[in-house]
Every structure is written in C-alpha cells, then in structure tokens.
Structure 1
Amino acid sequence: MPSRDPLPPLSCLRAFEAAARHGSFTQAGGELSLTQSAISRQIKRLEDDLGRPLFERHYDGLRLTPAGEHYFRVVQRLLRELRDETARLRRRGDDRQLTLASSPTIASIWLARQLPDFQRAHPDIEIRILTVEDPHRLDLAEFDLGIYYHVHNEVDPPGVSADAIFSRESVAAVCSPAYLERHGAIQSPAELLTRHTMMVVEDHYHDWLTWELWFRELGQEWQPPIHTLRANSFQLLMNATLAGQGVTLGWMRLLAAELEQGTLVQALPQVLSSRGHLSLFTPEHRHLTEPMRAFRDWVLR
C-alpha cells in the first residue's frame, strides 16, 4: 500500500497562510479569489491531514493554536522563498523585461507620459506595469521597481528602500476649467466648504493627505464640507475632477502636464508643501538587473 504523500496540497498551504495572516477566512478568500467556504474546506483538509487544529474559532475572529503559530511561520517563509525563486527564474528567462509597480493614478497620469523617453533610450527593454493602489499590498517577488508617494514612518512598505524622484513637491486645490465655468471662481478656502463639491478619497493609504489636514496646516478653519463626492480610488476621483465634477487635492509636479495643457487649473492660490515625495521603491537584497539599473539611473536623474 503506497505511503501517504508527506506534503499537503499547495492550495491548502496558501489558504492557511492567507487566513493566518489576515485572521479571517473571508479576507483570505478575497485575496485568493475564493469563497469563504472554500477557504474553510481547505483549512479543514489541512487540519485533518496534520491531525491537529491550527485555528481556534472565537466570537471575535480566528486565533492560531500554538501548533498553528509555529506552522504558519514555517509555511510563510517557504512560500516567500518559493515565490522569490520563481520570480528570479522567470526574470532570467526574460532578462530584458522590467516590471514597474505603481498606483493606477501615478501610472496613468505620470508614468505613462514619461516612459516613451525611456523606451527611446532603451528600445531593447520590455516594460510591464503592475498597478497596485496600496504599496503595502505589494508582493516583493512580483515587481522589479515601484513608483509611489513615500512618507517616512507612515507610507513605509517593508522590504523596500525609497529614493525621492522629486525632492520638493507641493499640494494645491485643483479643478477643471469647465467646473469653474459652471460654478464660478472660488474666492476662498471657506467657500469650498459651503458652495463647492470637494473630492474625498476614502483610502487608508491616503490618510496622510486629507482636506482637513490641508485646511489646518494652512491655518484655515475646518468644518465638514456640505457637498462631497467620495470614493476609495484616487484615480476615480481624479478622472471625475478632469470631467468637471468637483475640486480635489493634487500634487503639482505629478499633474504638471494637465496644468500646462489647461485640462486642470489651480482653484485657489494656497499651496502646501507635501509631506510625501514621489519615490522609486527598490526591493532590498535584490540583485539589480541591467534593466533595473538603467531605469533607476534614468528616473532619478
């Protein structure tokens, strides 16, 4: 009679690692594009195979058992090493490909405008863009370099170093000319709060740049605005701003082309120095390929 395979299925290990990391079968399912019940079945199969429970089910969520804690550390380390080595082998198979990670807004508004210059200088390098809104959700094995706003000790994803692309950056209220034509010129910050539609991004990653902070750091009185358009995507709000639906906070150098072309205008003269810098993220302890070196040299110039 054949002996039992000593290794559990990879699908069970991935489900266990995600559930242990999130402390939730539902969130693990969301990450792996599976239902909560599918994750639960994978965990049950793994627990049956091991002959011991890995989780304790409590009214307020999941907790790892002592055996589960130890197994989680082992599984997480091995899956990370497997992902890293797989990515390295794939890159060796196509060592002229460069994968750039960025937020959808930065990728569409800024990076896409800059890349033609790089590609003219390096026509043999194939570019692949990976869009992930929150840099904390980046998998270090899936990209070569990243471009995000970096705030030291606040937007500080683990495992990467950050080099500022813009050493100085400012933030101002911006809108489309069409919006001003319909609603009239904005005379003061206080008028924004009562007469205009303010774009509000509901995203933990962008909590370091909010309308309330902008008002307070400029010494302006703050109160919740009467009219808002809210979304959890800065890209969606920026597209709505370009379409004339309201006023948003924007980084002036990131939006330089839109301001120069006149598709956006500065709605008020007040400007605040940005706490964040558009930065190049480089995974630490990664061997820099020739395409990575070429892009780093180009973008940091």
Structure 2
Amino acid sequence: MSRTIRRQAPPLEAIEAFILATRSSSFRDAADRLALSPSAFSRRIQALEAFVGVALFVRDKGSVTLSKTGERYLRMVEPAIDSIRRATVDLQAERGGMALRVVVPQSFAIGWLIPNLPDFQHKHADVKVELRIGRDIDDLRRGHADVAIYVGPGNIGSMPAIRIAPINGVMVSAPVLASGSAPPTSLAELPNVDRLAVYRPEGLWERWLRNLKYDGPPLAPPTYFEAQFLMFEAAAAGLGVAIVAPILAHRLLDQGRLVRLGAHEAPLGIDYYLVSADEAVQRRPDAIKFRKWIGEGLARFS
C-alpha cells in the first residue's frame, strides 16, 4: 500500500511571490516584476494561503494589505529566503561568472565611479560590475546587491563597513556670475550672493560654515535642487555659489566650468563607506579587488 507524505513547506515560488508582494506597491506591480499575469500571481498567493490554512492578506475594496498573521509569517520566512538567495549568489560567485552588484548614490556614480570604471575593467578584466542607483543599504539586507557606497555615518547594523574617503567641501561658482559680477572670494561676501544647495544630504552649508567658524550676518535661505549634478550645472551657469565635494565635482573644476572661491575647505561631517552585505561577500576576490581599487582611486581626495 502506497503512503502519501504531506509536504511540510510550501513551494518556493509561492513564498517568493508572497515576499515580493509585501515589497511592492500592488499585486500587479509584483506580478510585473516576476513577469507573471496578475491572475497567475494571485493564484500563487492563494495557493500559499491554502497551504498554510489562513489568510495572509486583507482584501478590502480593491486594496490589499498584510494581515496580522501575514506580518508574523513574513518576519519568520523573509530571513530564511534571503539566506537561501544569498547562499546561492555566493556559490555562483565562487564558480565565477557572477557580477559584483554595487549600490551607489547617483551623484557618486555620475561624478566619479562611472568615469573611472574603464580603469577598473582594464585592471580587472575578470570582474564584472553591475550598478544599482540608491541611497540606502536595504538592497544589501534583501540580497539584491553585494556592496554599497554609503554616505555615513548612519545605521548599518552588523554589516561590515570600511571608510573609503572623507567628504570635505569647497565653495565654487562659475568664473563669472550670471549677473556679470565677479564671484565672492571671502565668507564676508556671502550675504551678497545667491547660495545653491541640495535637499540630501541635508545641512551641508550649515555644517561647512560652522566648521569654518563663520560669524557674519544671517544668510538668506539657499535655492534647493533635487540632485547634486543639477546643482553643479546651476553653479556652472552662474546662478550662485555652492558647496561641493571635489570627489564629485572634480571634472567641472578641471574643465574650468567651476572655480574654487578662496582657500576655504572644511569637513561636511559625512564620509563615504563601502558596506558589504556580510563577511562572506567582504572576503570574495571580486569584492576585495573593487575595495582596493576604489580606495586607491579616492586617496587623492583624502
């Protein structure tokens, strides 16, 4: 007589769909990311709920949210699935052919990393690098990336991190302002010019002026930009003065589109770190090569 052994765990594709649903704006979005039709994706979720015998989502008038049971189930299964994904990626990397997946802020990617990547490829033709634009390190926690260029200090938990460069700021503008006047060369002239800034990182002007012990009159609020490279271009167009990190703006400075104003330079209170997803990634040959190369490349800005 044959015996039927009941499965103790649901299919991995159902768990994958469940976790992705919790990380997406909707079931439709999650289905698109798995290249499934919405109905096929919903069937995976329904199959998982049938397997565990309880509803994991609350469905109400077209909206879907995690139930209390779903939240508890997610806390238990998500680390396990991420561990499986991480172990698989690490094993593939050991065999070769896997890319080193790097999360990097857009400003650093445009200002330094991408222009210098040909040098890395020339020196390490055996290593393939894939870039993912981002400001935080959640992709490391979720197993979607191996290392991240991170602007800190900040909360990185127990993930290994190495400080690769301090971020100092200098004051810059176009050689001639859009008004036709010469740019300022001293802090005392700042009340007479427009200042440019970015939303993130916050407070760069304030920290820079505080570190230089500025004691002049209060300054008008700066004009804000969404991204560093937009602020750089605005400064190069003569729209005002900006505080920039030479690491990011060195090409515009070398081209003469931006000029340093005076000899003022001060720390911005933040540094660049290279964060690894875990110690196994930190020990990988491709990660070691990338870490050594980027450290040497940024040394001139230290």
Please confirm whether the aligned pair reaches a TM-score higher than 0.5, indicating the same fold: yes
CA shift digits 1:154-196 (9 cap, x unpaired): 2x33453222223x54212322335467453226557545641
Structure 2 residue runs of 5 or longer lacking an equivalent are 297-302
Q: Distance in 2 between matches of 1:213 and 1:260?
A: 26
CA shift digits 1:59-78 (9 cap, x unpaired): xx97752x334301122113
Match runs of 1:16-35 below 5 Å: 16-18=21-23
CA shift digits 1:30-65 (9 cap, x unpaired): 9x879xxx7x9689846566443446799xx97752
Tell me if structure 1 keeps the 8 A contact 2:103–2:132: yes
Matching residue of 2:144: 142
Tell me if structure 2 keeps the 8 A contact 1:199–1:230: yes
Tell me if structure 1 keeps the 8 A contact 2:107–2:248: no
> Aligned-pair distance for 1:249?
2.2
> Aligned-pair distance for 1:134?
0.9
- Helix, strand or coil at the partner of 1:147: strand
Matching residue of 1:73: 75
Query: What amino acid is aligned across from residue 196 of structure 2 in structure 1?
Result: M
Matching residue of 2:300: none
Matching residue of 2:249: 255
Residues 142 and 179 of structure 1, relative CA distance in 2, 3 Å threshold: farther
Q: Distance in 2 between matches of 1:191 and 1:49?
A: 71
Query: What amino acid is aligned across from residue 72 of structure 1 in structure 2?
Result: L
Residues 117 and 139 of structure 1, relative CA distance in 2, 3 Å threshold: same
**TM-score of the aligned structures, taking structure 1 as reference length:** 0.70
> Aligned-pair distance for 1:80?
0.9
Match of 2:295 among 290, 293, 300: 300
Query: What amino acid is aligned across from residue 19 of structure 2 in structure 1?
Result: R
Q: Distance in 1 between matches of 2:123 and 2:128?
A: 13
Residues 180 and 266 of structure 1, relative CA distance in 2, 3 Å threshold: farther
Matching residue of 2:156: 157
Residues 41 and 100 of structure 1, relative CA distance in 2, 3 Å threshold: closer
Tell me if structure 2 keeps the 8 A contact 1:98–1:291: yes
Matching residue of 1:219: 214
Residues 142 and 18 of structure 1, relative CA distance in 2, 3 Å threshold: closer
Matching residue of 1:9: 14
Tell me if structure 2 keeps the 8 A contact 1:150–1:278: yes
Matching residue of 1:131: 132
**TM-score of the aligned structures, taking structure 2 as reference length:** 0.70
Matching residue of 2:278: 284
Matching residue of 1:22: none
Tell me if structure 1 keeps the 8 A contact 2:207–2:268: no
Pairwise CA RMSD of aligned residues?
A: 4.2
Q: Distance in 1 between matches of 2:160 and 2:16?
A: 32
6-15 vs 98-107, greater mean Cα deviation: 6-15
Q: Distance in 2 between matches of 1:80 and 1:183?
A: 57
Matching residue of 2:299: none
Q: Given the alignment of the two structures, is residue 171 of structure 1 paired with residue 173 of structure 2, yes or no? A: no
> Aligned-pair distance for 1:106?
0.9
**Identity percentage of aligned residues:** 22
Pick the structure with greater CA Rg.
Answer: 2
